[in-house]
Chains A and B, each alone.
Chain A
């Protein structure tokens, strides 16, 4: 793997930015070049939030991407917005807990993750993002799962440190899905 462009998208409150930051942080810990570029402004409050993460072995030219290797869609509006952004041959992770629609493309690999359901099984609805990230890391690699886990305490704000263990559990349970 030389360079992976990943778009994480969902609605505000789903922890979409955090998924991206955690991946970027883990990439940095593994001495890769990384960038994390968020959408910003009122658009974030209006509905879909998204960020682009690039992890690369070389210096990263543009921190934005026209065609992503991987798109993670946590809700339906995000799927509709970013479906076309997946490179032919790329991967699309969809949160089937919130997306029932079929994906209208056959040139990409679709990975279905019922993230919210698994999160509820873990006992914390808010960690659907980590379920999804666990599935992503297990499927694609990019960085080691251990690095993701050891990055959690640096990336999660201190007030959420009581959720460290449940986040790790969510990562593991997500990983088991794929």
Chain B
């Protein structure tokens, strides 16, 4: 531990899950996340865990539902079309209040779409994962090291809230290699007991893992309990990174891969005197509303950069709450914006030049 290794994002996430004490993986192949199951197919047996390739994403997410209910730290991973199929299990996992971690290495859509990097599942991840009144906690890494750190955090957050957590990245984060360090390792034996798990009612009342509540009054109570968890996440779990906000006239809001490219664009812009800053949401749900709202008091305008036709921008606008204009630039379908394209947008919206 503590030694730098050069790893692909997907493999690093897989190893991070093992380091987080995850011993169970259920999944189904899909590009561009195949290195995750491939890695865990040999790595999990090495640590006494179970890797199982399911017959479908639907089955995989329901195996996760079973394993999570049985008290295990459990992972599944997929990419956009596969996540749509996993939605069923994820809704049940959220309803039954189980911890689980789901990785989505986004690719272009809708439908079969393409296999190149995209950020077009933002709405799905943060707002409309599946039926019912629920949210995932959504973490968006922008480097391989951050993917490792957030994967380890994801398991802890899932346990803390008994709620599914999604690591939302894209083919670029999954496929690229960067140096990473693993500084934490959790022995699953040392994790706190889960007294609600289905592991045999030995000397206790039986446990039931369930998302059915036929009495609407009872279900409403359950929904409000879930909402209280989401409110607590908003209080305690908001994460973001920012740069150059002190003197910024224009602030770019971007996450994940788009934020990396935006950072290059900001370097170009700053070289010629444009005062541009960056707010990079790390949690997409809960969304860093407050920093954006506060920043709106100081800057001239915002520019949201996404690899979609505009999804997160809705949350940026809600956070800015009409205080300042919020502009948008995006490429989609697997196209990645270049720093130069973003720089052009900075010039168009008139970021003040010294």
Task: Give me the interface of A with B, judged by CB distance under 8 Å.
Answer: 21, 24-25, 28, 33-38, 40-42, 60-64, 66
Cβ contact of B175, chosen from A25, A40, A42, A61, cutoff 8 A:
A40
Residues of B within 8 A of A (CB): 4, 6, 31-32, 115-116, 171-172, 175-179, 260-264, 266-267, 336, 338-340
- Given that A66-B338, A66-B339 are known contacts, is A35 also in contact with B176, CB under 8 Å in the complex? yes
Q: Identify which of B176, B267, B336 contacts A36 (C-beta below 8 A).
A: B176
Majority DSSP secondary structure for residues of A touching B: mixed
Q: Are A28 and B267 in contact (CB under 8 A)?
A: no
Contacts of A62 in B (CB 8 A): 260-261, 263-264, 339
Q: Evaluate whether A40 and B171 lie within 8 angstroms (CB atoms) in the complex, with A62-B339, A64-B336 already known.
A: yes
Known: A28-B4, A62-B263. A38 touches B179 (CB 8 A): no
What residues of B have a CB within 8 angstroms of the CB of A24 in the complex? Answer: 6, 177
Establish whether residues A63 and B260, one from each chain, have CB atoms under 8 Å apart when the complex forms: yes
Contacts of A38 in B (CB 8 A): 175-176
Closest to A67 in B: B340
Most chain B CB within 10 A, of A21, A36, A38, A40, is at A40
Contacts of A28 in B (CB 8 A): 4, 6, 179
A41 touches B115 (CB 8 A): yes
Output the nearest chain B residue to A154 by Cβ-Cβ distance.
Answer: B6
Contact present for A34 and B6 (CB under 8 Å): yes
Tell me which of B6, B31, B336 contacts A40 (CB under 8 A).
Answer: B31
Given contacts A62-B339, A63-B260, contact A37 B6 (CB under 8 A): no
Looking at the complex, which one of B32, B176, B267, B340 makes contact with A61 (CB distance below 8 Å)? B267
A66 vs B340: C-alpha distance in the bound complex, in angstroms?
8
Measured in the bound complex, the distance between the Cα atoms of B115 and A174 in whole Å is 37
Distance between Cα atoms of A42 and B6 in the complex (Å):
24
Closest A residue to B340 using CB positions: A66
CB nearest neighbor in B for A29: B4
Query: In the complex, A37→B176 CA distance in Å?
Result: 4
